[in-house]
């Protein structure tokens, strides 16, 4: 990806202070989604990390991970699997509870979403503390998926989420803040 494209993506992400709670600087990606050319460049760049590899399924995390994950899956010729917040999926599920800064959260995946040995990529919009991604990666591992790596549009490097994902395959991020 060209330095110009990366700079355009970076400057189009909108910083929203104190959302959804005081002290959080929210990275709003909707201006990128709304721009046809920037959206294309972002998806191309994220898919590029897995170019030339056979990918069976891209797993996307509720909710912005669905947008990136489904488009990356399309580009890689792979299927798409949603990891959703607890209670949203209609069929039989496996779930993982994980801790947030305050309290806990749960994510689920359909039991039949991944067959053992399938080549899997995890996608989400943003890597912060890594708790959400670690939970999704655990679901992929429990299903017997062969993890090729994870890809994020944005990584908040100062939160060191990567450390939580050590030993869980390669981690790629298009933009780091
Ligand atoms: P974490 O589990 O801490 O890595 O949080 C990751 C999830 O929370 C991602 O799915 C993001 O969509 C969301 N998230 C966390 N922090 C931010 C932020 N500063 N701006 C936008 N989204 C965020």
Structure tokens at 22: 């005081």
Query: Which residues span the domain enclosing 99?
Result: 52-176
pLDDT at 108: 98
126 within ligand 1 shell (Cβ under 6 A): yes
Query: Which of 128, 150, 171 has most ligand 1 atoms within 8 Å of its beta carbon, as the pocket-test mutant?
Result: 128
Domains identified in the chain, total number = 1
pTM (predicted TM-score)? 0.97
How many of the other CB atoms lie within 10 Å of CB of 63? 13
Question: What is the domain-level CATH number for residue 162?
Answer: 3.40.50.2020
State the 10-residue block means of pLDDT for the chain, 177 residues long: 95 97 95 98 98 98 98 98 98 95 90 98 98 98 98 97 95 98
CB 148 within 8 A of CB 119: yes
Phi-psi category of 144—alpha, beta or left, where left has phi over 0 and alpha has psi -120 to 50? left
Task: Tell me if 18 is assigned to some domain.
Answer: no
For 4, residues 6+ apart whose C-beta sits below 8 A from its C-beta are: none
């Amino acid at each position: 990806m060209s330095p110009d494209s990366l700079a355009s993506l970076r400057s189009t992400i909108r910083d929203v202070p104190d959302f959804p709670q005081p002290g959080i600087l929210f990275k709003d990606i909707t201006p990128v989604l709304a721009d046809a050319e920037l959206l294309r460049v972002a998806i191309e760049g994220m898919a590029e990390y897995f170019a030339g590899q056979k990918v069976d399924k891209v797993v996307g995390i509720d909710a912005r991970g669905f947008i990136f994950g489904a488009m990356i899956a399309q580009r890689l010729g792979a299927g798409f699997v949603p990891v959703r917040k607890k209670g949203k999926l209609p069929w039989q599920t496996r779930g993982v509870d994980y801790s947030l800064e305050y309290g806990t959260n749960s994510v689920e995946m359909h039991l039949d979403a991944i067959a053992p040995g399938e080549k899997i990529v995890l996608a989400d919009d943003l890597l912060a503390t890594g708790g959400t991604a670690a939970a999704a990666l655990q679901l992929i591992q429990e299903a017997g998926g062969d993890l090729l790596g994870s890809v994020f549009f944005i990584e908040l490097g100062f939160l060191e989420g990567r450390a939580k994902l050590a030993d869980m395959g390669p981690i790629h991020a298009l933009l780091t803040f």
